A and B are shown apart, each in its own frame.
Chain A
Amino acid sequence: APAMADRLGLGRAALPEEIAAWDGDVRPDGTGLPVGSGDAIIGEEIFATQCAACHGDFAEGIDNWPKLAGGIDTLYHDDPLKTVGSYWPYLSTAFDYIKRSMPYGNAGTLSDDETYALLAYILYSNDLIDDDFVLSNETFFDVEMPNADGFIIDDRAETEYAQWRGEPCMENCKPEPVSVTMRAMVLDVTPQEEAEAPAEGTIV
C-alpha cells in the first residue's frame, strides 16, 4: 500500500442515514439485498402499469426498447439476443438496477417488495421460475441464471497483445490487387438532411 499522506481535514463524517439513502448497491453474493418478497402474479400487475409500455406485456420489448426475456441459447448465434434470462450472470444486478434506475424517467420509486415482484415476473417471463415461486432475500439464490458461467476476465494480453506486437510490415504486405469488399454508401444509413430509412439498433 502507498504511504498515506497527511489528511487535510476536509469534508465531514457521513451520517448513517445519508449512507443508507445513497448506498443501495447489491452484490452477487447478496450483500446489500434488503428483506422483502414478491411473486410473478403481483409482478405482472406492476409490470403492466410501469414497464410494459416500453418492455412489452411479456418483457419481450417494444420497438428499439430493451428485451428483458427470451434469447436463451442464442449467444453464439450471428445475432445473439441478450436479455436478463439469456445473458445476465447475476440476479443481484437486476435487483440493483431496477430498484435504482427504473422505471425509465421515474427512477427510484419502487419499493423493495415491488422490485422483488417485478424481478419474479421477469424471471417467469424467461421460464426460469414457476408462477407460484415467491422471490425473496431468502429464496434469491434458488434461481439459476443460465449464463452465470458465460463470462471470462479480459484476456487480451494473452490472446491479442502477444501476437500484435513487433515491427509491422511496410512493403508488399498483401497480395495485389487490394479490392473493396464493402461500402457504407451502399447501406446508406448515415444521417443526412432528410431522415433515412432506419436500421436495427445496436446500442442501448
Chain B
Amino acid sequence: MAEHDNKPDGTSRRAFLRGAAAVSAGALSATAARSQTPDPLITEVQEWAQGFGDGVDETPYGLPIAHERDVIRRNVEWLTADTVSSINFTPIHALDGTITPQGCAFERHHSGAIDLKKEDYRLMINGLVDTPLVFTYGDLERFPRENHVYFCECAANTGMEWAGAQLNGAQFTHGMIHNMEYTGVPLRMLLEEAGLDTAGDLKDKWVFVEGADASSNGRSIPMEKALDDCLIAFKANGEALRKEHGYPVRLVVPGWEGNMWVKWIRRIEVMDGPVESREETSKYTDTLADGISRKWTWAMDAKSVVTSPSPQSPITHGKGPLVISGLAWSGNGAITRVDVSKDGGMSWQTARLAKPGEKMALTRFYLDTEWDGSEMLLQSRAMDDTGYVQPTKAQLREVRGLNSIYHNNCIQTWLVRANGETENVEVS
C-alpha cells in the first residue's frame, strides 16, 4: 500500500503520546489478553469500595476529574504576536458526540475576553429603523426564545495547513471550532421591534454588528441573513455564555465564519450598504494565486476530520476492533454522508452517522472496523445536502493557490503507523 519513509525519525516523542502509551501498557490493554493471574483490582477490596467519596457540598460547580486534565484548550505561541489578539484550540481529539463542553471550547479574541456584567450591558439598534432602540439585558429575556444547535468555526481553522502538513494533532489542525445549543432571540425580532419600514426595500440592506470590546470586531451582514436565522444568544449548552464566549450576549450566525459571531454585541445598525470594516477587508478576505482576493466569503463549506485515531489520540490497544471516529459539518446545510478511506483516498467506505445530520451543526460519524496492525492513511470525506463533496487540498489549491489563509476545508490525512502512533501528513 503506502510507499513512504517508515523509519523512526529523530524527533522526540510527544509528551501526550508518552502519556497515552503509559496508560495503555497497564489497565486499558489488560482486557484484551487472557489473564493468567487474578486481577487485584477485582480480588482486593479497593479504597473507593470501602470508604467515602466526596460529599455533595464539595463541588458547587464542578470541573472534570483530574484524570482528564489533558482535555484542555491549547494555544500555539508562534501563531500570533501576543495572547490577547489570538486563538486557542478545542481538544476535539478527546471529545465525542457533538456538543462541545463550554469550558474547553476554543476562544478567539482581538482585544481579550472582557468582563461585562448584565447590569452594564446595553444593546443599541440604530440606522435605517423607525425607532432607534436601546435594550437592557433584562429586555432581551422578555422576547420569545428559540433553541438551536450550531457549530462556530473560525474562518482560519486549518489555515496553517495551506502550505503543507504543519501541526501534529486534530486539536491544532481542526480545533478552532465549537458546537453548542444556543438559547436566544431571533435577530429578526429585535429588528422588527425597532421597525424596518424606514429601510424600505430590504433586499439591498445590510446590518453592521459590533461588540463592546476595544476591537469591536465590526462586520457587515446582508439583511437577508439577518432576517433568516441569526440569533441574539444569551445561553449556551443550558447556561449563561462563558465570559470568553461573549457573556452576556453574542450573535450567532449559523453556518457562517466564526468572526461574524460578534461577542459582547452592543450595536446593530441597519444600513444601505456594507461598512467594509477592517475585519472584512484587511482580514477575512481570501487572496488567490493571481493576487486578487475574495471578499464576503461567509459560508463555511462542508468539512470533516477523523478525531480518533489522530496524532494526539493514537491506537494503544493493538490489533482487532477499532472505532474510527470523527466530526463532519457544513455551513451550507446538513451532513448527509461521510466516507472514510484507510489507504489515502484510493478506496472509500461509507461511515455511520451517530444521528442524522442537522443543518449547520456538528455531526458525529463512526466507522467500526477491524485493524490488522498495518499502516493506514486515514481520511474522511463529508457530503452535505446540497450535493457538495469535501475536496482534497490539491483541488482547493488548484482553484485558490496557497495564500488564501482562510476557509481550508480540505480532506485531512493521518498516517497511522504499525505501532499505533499517528501523524499529520499530506499524500500524493
- Note whether A and B form a binding pair: yes
**Which A residues have a C-beta under 8 Å from some C-beta of B?**
1-2, 4-5, 7-8, 10-14, 18-19, 22-23, 25-29, 54, 63-66, 75-76, 78-80, 82, 84, 87-90, 92-94, 96-97, 100-101, 104-105, 107-108, 150-156, 159-161, 164-166, 168-174, 176-193, 195, 198-204
**Which B residues have a C-beta under 8 Å from some C-beta of A?**
1-5, 9, 11-12, 14-15, 74-81, 84-87, 110-111, 124-127, 131-136, 139, 142-143, 156, 159-160, 164-169, 172, 188-189, 192-197, 201-202, 208, 210, 214-216, 218, 227, 266-267, 269, 271, 273, 275-278, 281-283, 285, 287, 289-299, 301, 311, 339, 343-348, 377, 381, 383, 386-389, 391, 395, 399, 402-403, 405, 415, 423-428
B423 A76 Cβ-Cβ under 8 A: no
Q: Which 7 A-B pairs have the closest CB atoms?
A: A76-B291, A178-B344, A75-B291, A180-B4, A64-B81, A107-B214, A184-B424
Q: Is the interface of A mostly helix, strand, loop or mixed?
A: loop
Which of B81, B84, B127, B271 has the most CB atoms of chain A within a 10 A radius of its CB?
Answer: B81
B285 A8 Cβ-Cβ under 8 A: no
CA distance A181 to B216 in the complex (A): 42
Q: Which of A12, A90, A104, A200 meets B281, CB within 8 Å?
A: A90
CA distance A28 to B274 in the complex (A): 9
Q: Which of B85, B164, B425 meets A204, CB within 8 Å?
A: B85
Q: Which of A173, A180, A190, A204 meets B347, CB within 8 Å?
A: A173
Assuming the contacts A82-B287, A164-B389, A165-B389, asked whether A11 and B345 have C-beta atoms less than 8 A apart, the reply is no
A150 B347 Cβ-Cβ under 8 A: no
A172 B156 Cβ-Cβ under 8 A: no
In the complex, what's the smallest C-beta–C-beta distance from B349 to chain A, in angstroms?
Answer: 8
Which of A1, A19, A185 has the most CB atoms of chain B within a 10 A radius of its CB?
Answer: A185
CA distance A203 to B295 in the complex (A): 17
A150 B79 Cβ-Cβ under 8 A: no
Q: Which of A14, A19, A203 meets B156, CB within 8 Å?
A: A203
In the complex, what's the smallest C-beta–C-beta distance from A131 to chain B, in angstroms?
Answer: 25
In the complex, what's the smallest C-beta–C-beta distance from A74 to chain B, in angstroms?
Answer: 8
A183 B425 Cβ-Cβ under 8 A: yes
B79 A177 Cβ-Cβ under 8 A: no
A204 B287 Cβ-Cβ under 8 A: no
B276 A92 Cβ-Cβ under 8 A: yes
CA distance A137 to B306 in the complex (A): 53
**Chain B contacts for A154, CB-based, 8 A:** 294-298
A161 B427 Cβ-Cβ under 8 A: no
A185 B196 Cβ-Cβ under 8 A: no
B124 A18 Cβ-Cβ under 8 A: yes
A168 B134 Cβ-Cβ under 8 A: no
- A159 — nearest CB in chain B belongs to which residue? B399
Q: Which of B9, B126, B218, B395 meets A185, CB within 8 Å?
A: B9
B133 A12 Cβ-Cβ under 8 A: yes
Q: Is the interface of B mostly helix, strand, loop or mixed?
A: loop
**Chain B contacts for A26, CB-based, 8 A:** 275
A sample of 5 more A-B contacts (CB under 8 A), given A10-B142, A25-B269, A93-B282, is A4-B196, A10-B143, A19-B132, A178-B346, A189-B76
A164 B80 Cβ-Cβ under 8 A: no
CA distance A165 to B330 in the complex (A): 14
B285 A151 Cβ-Cβ under 8 A: yes
B133 A199 Cβ-Cβ under 8 A: no
B428 A179 Cβ-Cβ under 8 A: yes
CA distance A23 to B5 in the complex (A): 59
A5 B192 Cβ-Cβ under 8 A: yes
Interchain residue pairs with CB less than 8 A apart (19) = A22-B124, A22-B267, A93-B277, A96-B277, A97-B282, A151-B293, A153-B295, A153-B296, A154-B294, A164-B388, A165-B387, A174-B428, A178-B346, A183-B424, A185-B11, A189-B78, A200-B78, A204-B81, A204-B283
In the complex, what's the smallest C-beta–C-beta distance from B400 to chain A, in angstroms?
Answer: 9
**Chain B contacts for A76, CB-based, 8 A:** 289-291
In the complex, what's the smallest C-beta–C-beta distance from A53 to chain B, in angstroms?
Answer: 12
A193 B15 Cβ-Cβ under 8 A: yes
